[in-house]
A and B are shown apart, each in its own frame.
Chain A
Amino acid sequence: MPVSALQVARTGLEAQDARMRVVANNLANVGTTGFKRDRANFATLAYQDARIAGQRSSGETAYATGLNLGTGVAIQSTSQIVTQGALNTTGNALDLALDGEGYFQVQLPGGQLGYTRAGNFTRSAEGQVVTQQGYILQPAITVPEGATAIAVSQDGIVSAQLPGQTEATELGQLQIASFANPAGLRAIGDNFLVETGASGAAQLAPGGENGRGSIRQGMLEASNVNIVEELVDMIETQRAYEINSKMVSAVDEMLRNANQTL
């Protein structure tokens, strides 16, 4: 019995510690393009029943209620809060922002598809539109040598003025991915998300259609982390951690007392 009160307080400390990590990560990414803040979710741990309701308390009577003792708390998951970040104008032709829902789809090394809201694309040596890491945007779009006045429409049609042509040439169309449960996507770092069983499969559509956001050329989406909110969360977490650690010392004190007095 005495140990368990200590263990219960320990679960509280661990959960607060994990929450602090989430807050720290959000704050660290306040300047990351297209970053979405995470929220830590807690869940109560299992209950132990020392006695089940209906057990016999004597020959004629039964206990009306069970004796349930909670075993503490655990951090259960983090969920991405997918609110829109502010759009900042940069003026670069291949800086694209999504105004609304959806993700850009890129080819990760190893063949897996990654999804991102960070639309700061560039042109590779081969002329393909790639992310900062050199991952190719899917469906692939190639911008030929010497192309000028690259334009991306709101529904993702990429066109450019090619040397020796009088008319703009259409180079391809971007597709925007969306998911049944975007909160279920798994972050793998570098601003990329990959699909999981919880997110469902990606469904592609042009920008601005079927609930997808429209594409804004020459803009980037800022991080949706709100510093004030995170600081409040940080203080809250810190205080909760403190109280849980007081609990540990209180139980310790009780045990010391029993040791010394008896």
Chain B
Amino acid sequence: MDRLIYTALSGMQSSMAQQRVIASNMANAQTLGFKAELLDQRPVTIKGDSLEVRAMQHAEVRGARMDTGEVVETGQPLDVSIKGDALMAVQAEDGTEAYTRRGDLAIAPTGLLTTGDGHPVIGDGGPITIPLGGKPAIAPDGTVTVTDPTQPDAPAQEVGRIKLAGWQGSPVLKGLDGLFRVEDGGVLPRDEEATLQTGSLEQSNVKPTEVLVEMIDAQRLFAMRTKMISTAREVDESGASLMRMT
């Protein structure tokens, strides 16, 4: 009785996990600022005195593909896309600083400037608040100014500057809320060079054609690994029939 069947099974499970990651990427092909997730598959062997003959297959999501999605003009004053590869700082549910590429900003009833999925945008002094009734405008360097419509001649007031953080050199991971964080905690420094483009939005970086290919790939690999199990069964059966005395 060979243990091949377990090795093949671990492969089947990995293929299924892979298909699930691909499905999740595909489902988010229209989500603003979404970064495709990467599945990392590796053989796992037991170190020891025995011969290393069995490599279990192990798969996990390790990170995301950080290339920029397509930028689409919308003409809305509160839609911003980040040029280059900086990340925009937002406040996560737990109050910590996290990062996103999603730039469809809106003003909450409390006056907080938030992303489309409701996370407050962080400036130098915490979340940025727009005074009630003020008309916000966002400059390319992230500075948010507000003009009071009741005083058209008054100069615009600066209410904060959106923090754009560079992450090159510090590994970022996607957390369970879909936001990016520094791998071992901490915050990223502001990238003074990073700029925003208002009136446009960055789309998801999932490429449907790539996804289709990956999908077929995972599907066929799963079939091969299934085949492996049925082959293992045949091998076992022939071994068993050899052992029969009658």
Contacts and interface: CB of A to CB of B under 8 A. Distances in A.
Interface of A: 1-2, 4-6, 8-9, 11-12, 15-16, 19, 41-44, 46-51, 53, 64-73, 76-77, 79, 81, 83, 178, 180-181, 183-184, 197-200, 203, 210-212, 236-237, 239-240, 243-244, 246-247, 250-251, 253-254, 257-258, 261-262
Contacts of B132: 180, 200
A43 B219 contact: no
Contacts, number: 179
Interface residues of B, number: 63
A199 B116 contact: no
A253 B223 CA distance: 9
Interface of B: 12-13, 15-17, 19-32, 34, 37, 60-63, 74-76, 104, 106-109, 111, 116-117, 130, 132-133, 135, 149-150, 152, 173-178, 183, 208, 211-212, 215-216, 218-219, 222-223, 226-227, 229-230
Contact of A83 (B30, B75, B222, B230): B75
A11 B26 CA distance: 10
Contact of A1 (B17, B29, B34, B135): B17
B211 A243 contact: yes
B229 A8 contact: no
Determine chain A's interface SS by DSSP, over half rule. Answer: mixed
A253 B109 contact: no
A258 B12 contact: yes
A247 B61 contact: no
Contact of B32 (A5, A42, A65): A42
Contact of B133 (A76, A198, A203, A262): A203
B31 A73 contact: yes
B109 A210 contact: no
Contact of B216 (A5, A15, A236, A250): A250
Contacts of B227: 261
Contacts of B216: 250
Contacts of A5: 16, 19-20, 23
B37 A70 contact: yes
A47 B176 CA distance: 5
